[in-house]
């Protein structure tokens, strides 16, 4: 009898834990309002200008956003970006780096990092993401110079 009670309580805990995680997980949307394909990476490292060692081209299906389109990063499809609520409980900020796809294709990743060949760096916090409804919109600057 104790065994059945234990199993019942255990199953209820698992089920309620799953529901809490499902409610807490957010989808991060990235909208590309440019004529170029972009790739992105997200880091929690300090200093905030540190680009991760991982080249986004290594996984273009998760990190490529084609021109005038959008990409959702969901907790259900990508372990790396899942459960933002838990991530922000450990880190107050994350940093989204946006790269021009052609820059990544035509340059060595070490040079991209060393010469800081980024299109944009956006500081993310839970408060900021809530204020923009978890959708980051990338629009290139008209006056941006190479």
Q: What is the pLDDT of residue 77?
A: 42
Contact call for residues 35 and 5 (beta carbons, < 8 A): no
| Whole-number pLDDT of residue 61 | 65
**Predicted local confidence at residue 75, as pLDDT:** 52
Q: Give the model's pLDDT for residue 7.
A: 43
Tokens matching residue 68 = 């005038």
CB 96 within 8 A of CB 124: yes
Token digits of residue 126: 């839970």
Which distant-in-sequence residues (6+ apart) come within 8 Å of 62 by Cβ? 73, 78, 80
pLDDT at 139: 93
On whether the pTM is more than 0.85, the answer is no
Encode the chain (146 residues) as per-residue pLDDT tens digits: 544 443 444 444 444 443 333 334 567 899 999 999 999 988 877 776 778 888 888 876 668 999 999 998 765 444 444 557 667 777 788 889 999 999 999 999 999 999 999 999 999 888 899 899 999 999 987 434 44
Task: Extract the tokens encoding 71.
Answer: 């990409």
Beta strands in the chain (DSSP E): 28-32, 38-43, 64-65, 69-73, 94-100, 120-124, 135-138
pLDDT, residue 33, reads 96
33 three-class SS: coil
């Amino acid at each position: 009898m104790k065994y059945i009670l234990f199993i019942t309580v255990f199953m209820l805990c698992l089920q309620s834990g799953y529901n809490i995680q499902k409610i807490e997980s957010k989808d991060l949307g990235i909208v590309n309002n440019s004529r170029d394909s972009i790739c992105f990476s997200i880091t929690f490292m300090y200093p905030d200008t540190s680009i991760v060692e991982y080249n986004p081209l290594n996984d273009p299906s998760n990190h490529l956003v084609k021109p005038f389109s959008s990409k959702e990063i969901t907790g259900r499809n990508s372990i790396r970006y899942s459960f933002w609520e838990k991530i922000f409980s450990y880190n107050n900020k994350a940093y989204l780096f946006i790269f021009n796809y052609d820059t990544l294709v035509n340059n060595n990743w070490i040079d991209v990092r060393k010469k800081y060949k980024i299109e944009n760096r956006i500081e993310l916090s839970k408060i900021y993401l809530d204020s923009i409804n978890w959708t980051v919109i990338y629009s290139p600057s008209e006056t941006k110079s190479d």
